[in-house]
Structure 1
Amino acid sequence: MVSATTAVTNALEDPSRSSKISEASRVLNTMLTNYDNKLRPGIGVRPTVVKVEMFVRSLGPISIMDMEYTIDIVLHQSWYDERLRYNTTFDSFVLSGDMVSLVWVPDTFFKNSKNIADYKMSLPNQMVRIYGNGNVLYGFRMSIIARCSLHMLKFPMDSHSCPLSFSSFSYPVTELIYKLEHFNIEMDETNTWKLFQFDFTGMSNKTEVVSTPAGNYMVMTFFFNMSRQFGYIAVQNYVPSSVTTMLSWVSFWIQRDSAPARTSLGITSVLTMTTLGTISRKNFPRVSYITILDFYIAICFVFCFCALLEFAILNFLTYNYKKTHASPILRYPPVSSARARALARARARQQEEVFVCEVVTSEGNDGEEHVSCSLQELPSPSVPEPPRGRFSGCLKRFRKYFCMAPECEGFTWQKGRLRIHLFRLDNYSRVVFPLAFFFFNVIYWLVCLNL
């Protein structure tokens, strides 16, 4: 009651205010009485030119799994409508959100959108401003979830350009044209954007005409360029992979007789690399190609597996060498006295010697027969020579370059050829593995940083 009394009092005290309200109502009624909002401006005469301006309020987050991103924008579209011209003292008329349907507006839709959320408090966040010369400004705010094809080959050093494309749904290029007069897209504070693993690097735009069965339509596209931050991936993947690979080399400093310790360390390293490879793909799209991160983890896995394989080879060679050169089992147990040892030798000789007797008939008429006996040693059993075939030839060629500990002693062993001591594999591995991993990292990072 007090508000109504105050409004009446103000109207009585300021008659010009009341006349302005009456004039504004009269102008709007005059413009909209015979106005058909179903027909575009310039129909049948010329195409309608719609000028576009965009204000980006926020960008992100970006979903790698779903290959989509979220963007919050305010889009302004302006065009000329001769039916809305007026000649009064007002510069413009602003229509609220519930009156937008009274005038014609472009049927703009976003081609790569998956979901659009309009902002509605008490009324939709949209407005129409009509100027006296017939220009119309239409603005609205919305949050868009749009598709963005992410090519992950260079992950985690990848850069992406996520598009936001819009076009008219029903008007072809002969009837409606989009125009970006000034490519000055305003942005809110980028430090409030939810990009997380990405850095915003800039924007670009493209306008093209797309042919469809329904006709040719003008499509305007804005590209939001982003590059991935490397710190998170380095901490989560690169550092653990490198440290695990280096830990697998600790087995080279453990004695080769400590099989349980070296085997446990090798298997643990291999399983850890397998887990890291699985975790790196946990929140990752199921692409058919490997990324540069997958390649790095795979090489680290190979290094860990080779460290385990090195011990398996060394253990196998050591076992077979000990078995071949083991001390023979004594036929008789050792005795303490010299006489006992002599008796043992005599007993062994008796077992190895036999009496051989033969009947000899003398010449002559009497034909006497004599028996002749002698002590003879049994022939030692011959050891069959190993078959000479393809295997013996391969073994012979193998021994040209590899040797065991006793065979490598002396100056006559394969003079002039490379000698690799198989029992010194650990010594070689302590140098070869770190050097190989170092050179791999140098080449890997030089190539990746120049992709």
Structure 2
Amino acid sequence: MLAKVLLILLGTSIILPSRSEGPHVESKSAPSARDDVYGPQPQAPEEKLLSEETKSTMRLGNLPAATHILNSILNNYDHKLRPGIGERPTVVTVELSVNTLGPISIMDMEYTIDITFCQTWYDERLRYNGSFESFVLNGNMVSQLWIPDTVFRNSKRTQEHVITMPNQMVRIHKDGKVLYTIRMTIDAGCLLYMLKFPMDSHSCPLSFSSFSYPESEMIYKWENFKLQIDERNTWKLFQFDFTGVTNTTETISTPAGDFTVMTLYFNVSRRFGFVAFQNYVPSSVTTMLSWVSFWIKRDSAPARTSLGITSVLTMTTLGTFSRKNFPRVSYITALDFYIAICFVFCFCALMEFAVLNFLTYNRTNPRASPKLRHPQIRARSRTPPRAHVHQHPEAFVCQIEDSEESDEEEGPSCPAQQSLSLDTTQRPGGCCKWCKKYFCMVPSCEGSIWQKGRLFIHIYRLDNYSRVIFPVTFFFFNVLYWLVCLNL
């Protein structure tokens, strides 16, 4: 029996060492198989646990220290009172970073600006001793600190960004220096003076000050005035170009006291191309089209009348369209003046034909009584017009034989008819008596000797005069207009 037990123990001792050598061999061969794999080698479980434990110990060692410092600072801190109360005014240093500028609304006279507003001041109550140079607190901790009550005086609407968290940050330094940063979008008022429109330039202000602390308690200042503007986003100005920025600091008096007001002026100038193609080019082209009537025969009354009326109505439409998206100001702008002058040119071109048609119609169709007409009137189609004078016991009659080729010699041309026409114009009266001295009412008349040195206008040549007077006058008007507008 004892011999059997000894044999069993001996067999067990032989089998156990052979099984323990198997895993030991595999652990030696495993690294050689992983040598061909690219990448970091996995750490042993014992080493990994040891590194994580060390790091967590270090973090847990700094976190209680930071929590202790922060709790000790805010333990007896009263955020309702400003630093240095009763001793000296609080000096707040301001810095501004512009993210986007624009667009500018002409109708509402306002503009939109997206800024990151930074304020810096010293608060002795927030000083601490420790290895941390500063604490960064998010927007949830802002309510536990004193913050300047800065307001934007010319803002209409203000939006604070809260996605994904409120875009606010407070940084507390060891010496008590506090940096407060907030991002906001402001719709601020901008009074636009449009007298030189569309060659106008504007300065859009952004004013801010304290709401409740007068100058004796809070002072704003620029330590080093630096305004960061991302020019890649200034395309939101659309019709304007950004030309620069200026700043001013002033003190205003109110019933609540004297307040320090700081103002930034964003200078912009209008781009001329859009307004030129929308207003100046159509107005000039319409005015020049109205002159086409001077080359149309005066017998074509429907064509000349329709062209003149169309030009006048087009100028009226352009004047209304230019004021569609424009503030209702009480003064006349440079564009309004230009369109008004173009309207006057179109109207004068229409009136020129009305005057010409009225005067020539009265002369070519005289009101002759039946006694002055000869019963025998001959019409010759291929011979030039000839005048035959017939003696009648009761009247002196001039017979006119007209042809199809006599377009320039319309109306009476014989001396007898001229004398008859002049007799009708020499009636006692103010207007007719004055007109006979300076105007010729018949087609073939020439200025008399006594009319030399005076202004003598041939009514039948009024179109020839207009072909020169209208373009020359409009050219000199444009030269004078652009010289004045571009040099103001």
Q: TM-score, normalised by structure 2?
A: 0.78
User: What SS class does the counterpart of residue 275 from structure 2 fall into?
Assistant: helix
Deviations 1:27-86 (A, max 9, x none): 000000000000100000000000000000001111000001000000000000001011
Identify the residue that residue 369 of structure 1 maps to in structure 2.
none
* 2:262 corresponds to: 220
1:439 matched to 2:481? The reply is: no
| Rounded Cα–Cα distance in structure 2 between residues aligned with 1:46 and 1:285 | 47
2:83 is the counterpart of 1:41? yes
Residues 144 and 291 of structure 1: CA distance in aligned 2, closer, same or farther (over 3 Å): same
1:170 aligns with 2:212: yes
Q: Answer yes or no: is 1:402 the counterpart of 2:444.
A: no
User: Alpha-carbon deviation of 1:111?
Assistant: 0.6
Paired positions, count: 402
Partner of 2:470, secondary structure, is helix
Q: Tell me which amino acid in the other structure corresponds to 1:441.
A: N
Tell whether the 8 Å contact from 2:118 to 2:181 is kept in structure 1 after alignment: yes
1:3 is matched with: none
Kindly provide the CA deviation profile for residues 364-422 of structure 1, in whole angstroms up to 9, marking residues without a partner as x.
xxxxxxxxxxxxxxxxxxx9x99999953542332111112356237546344332111
| Alpha-carbon separation, structure 2, partners of 1:134 and 1:174 | 22
Question: What is the percentage of aligned positions where both structures have the same residue?
Answer: 68
CA 1:8–1:274: 2 relative to 1, 3 Å: farther
Alpha-carbon distance between aligned partners in 2 of 1:422 and 1:106, rounded to the nearest angstrom: 81
Structure 1 counterpart of 2:148:
106
Q: CA deviation at 1:93?
A: 0.1
- Match for residue 50 of structure 1 among 83, 92, 97: 92
Structure number with higher relative contact order (C-alpha < 8 Å, ≥ 6 residues apart)? 1
Against the structure 1 CA distance between its residues 53 and 410, is the aligned structure 2 distance closer, same or farther, given a 3 Å change threshold?
Answer: closer
Please show how residues 42-81 of structure 1 align to structure 2 within 5 Å.
42-81=84-123
What RMSD in Å do the two structures reach over aligned CA positions?
2.7
Quote the offset at 1:94 in angstroms: 0.4
2:459 aligned with 1:422: yes
Question: What residue number does 2:66 align with?
Answer: 24
Please say which of residues 212-221 and 188-197 is displaced more in the overlay.
188-197
Give yes or no for contact 2:112–2:188 (8 Å, CA) kept in 1.
yes
Unaligned 5+ residue runs, structure 2? 1-47, 379-392, 395-419
* Matching residue within 240, 247, 250 for 2:289: 247
Aligned partners of 1:34, 1:161: CA distance in 2, in Å? 47
Structure 2 CA distance, aligned partners of 1:333 and 1:190? Answer: 90
Q: 1:286 pairs with 307, 310, 328, which one?
A: 328
Choose which of 148, 155, 158 in structure 2 pairs with 1:116: 158
Amino acid at match of 1:217: F
Structure 1 or 2: more helix by fraction: 2
| Change over 3 Å in CA distance of 1:26–1:244 after alignment to 2 | same
- 1:271 matched to 2:308? The reply is no
Q: Decide whether aligned partners of structure 1 residues 405 and 137 sit closer, same or farther in structure 2, where only a CA change above 3 A counts.
A: same
Q: Distance in 2 between matches of 1:446 and 1:331?
A: 62
Counterpart pick for 2:304 among 242, 256, 262: 262
1:338-353 to 2 correspondences below 5 Å: none
CA shift, 1:187, in A, is 1.2
2-side partners of 1:328 and 1:258: how far apart?
29
